Amino acid sequence: FINVYSEPGLGTTFKIFLPRYVGEIVQAEKEDIVEPLLRGNEVILLVEDEPTILEMTSIMLENLGYTVLTAVTPGEAIRLAGEHNSQIDLLLTDVVMPGMNGRDLAQNMMRFHPGIKHLFMSGYTADIIAHQDVLDDGVNFIQKPFSGKSLADKVREVLKGNH
């Protein structure tokens, strides 16, 4: 129960009385051992038309050891890829963007970096994206929002694979 004492000009005091627990005391379980995030040193071209998501994802990837090139538009990404003299290992791109979708951007990237791998991301589910024929079934895909761990795992999976 709660007792309330109040006097004008002096203030109010609340006293809260809670029942005492009389059951068995259970020891808290030990925390799970946190596995270290998978890291890398490859170059990733990140394309995202939402500036906040672009910045957060870029920071996550840089903290994992990757070199990150960022672009807000597909046109900017194509320009960056053309100007970048060394290899770009992964294109991480939003699927739905103004001007060009992620699939068309990935095909354009092949001109500058034939061995580039692709990882598509979207707030839409993979089923919806495939149903709208924006992406083919079986492509590398991560749904937004994603955690740092799921991003780290998926990026490593794509970079290690033969996709």
pLDDT given at position 50 = 93
Asked, for residue 33, whether it belongs to a domain, the answer is no
Residue 162: pLDDT band with limits 50, 70, 90? low
Asked, for residue 112, whether it belongs to a domain, the answer is yes
Asked, for residue 69, whether it belongs to a domain, the answer is yes
Residue 95, SS3?
A: coil
Number of domains in the chain: 1
Asked, for residue 47, whether it belongs to a domain, the answer is yes
Q: Residue 48's closest CA among 67, 64, 68, 27? A: 68
108 in Cβ contact with 136 (< 8 Å): no
Q: What's the predicted TM-score (pTM) here?
A: 0.75
> For all residues of the chain together, what is the average pLDDT?
87
Range of the domain at 124: 43-158
Which of 39-43, 79-83, 132-136 has the weakest average pLDDT? 132-136
Asked, for residue 4, whether it belongs to a domain, the answer is no
Asked, for residue 101, whether it belongs to a domain, the answer is yes
Asked, for residue 163, whether it belongs to a domain, the answer is no
* Angle (CA) 136 118 123, round 5°: 65
pLDDT given at position 30 = 64
Q: Where are the beta strands (DSSP E) in 23-146?
A: 43-47, 67-71, 90-94, 117-122, 141-143
List the CATH number of the domain containing 143: 3.40.50.2300
pLDDT given at position 60 = 95
Tokens of 33: 């051992």
Q: Percentage of residues in the chain with pLDDT exceeding 90?
A: 52
Compare 163 and 92 and report the one with higher pLDDT: 92
Q: Is the pLDDT of residue 118 over 90?
A: yes
Asked, for residue 38, whether it belongs to a domain, the answer is no
Task: Please compute the mean of the pLDDT values over residues 111-121 and round it to a whole number.
Answer: 91
pLDDT given at position 70 = 98
